[in-house]
Amino acid sequence: MALTLSMLEPTVQAFAFFFHEKVWAAKDRRVSALAEKETTA
* pLDDT, tens only, 1-41: 899 999 999 999 999 999 999 999 999 999 999 888 888 76
Question: What pLDDT is stored for residue 9 in this prediction?
Answer: 97
Distance CA 21, CA 14 (A): 11
Helix, strand, coil percentages for the chain (3-state, nearest 5):
95, 0, 5
Question: What pLDDT is stored for residue 27 in this prediction?
Answer: 96
What's the pTM value of the predicted model, to 2 decimals? Answer: 0.68
Amino acid at 15: F
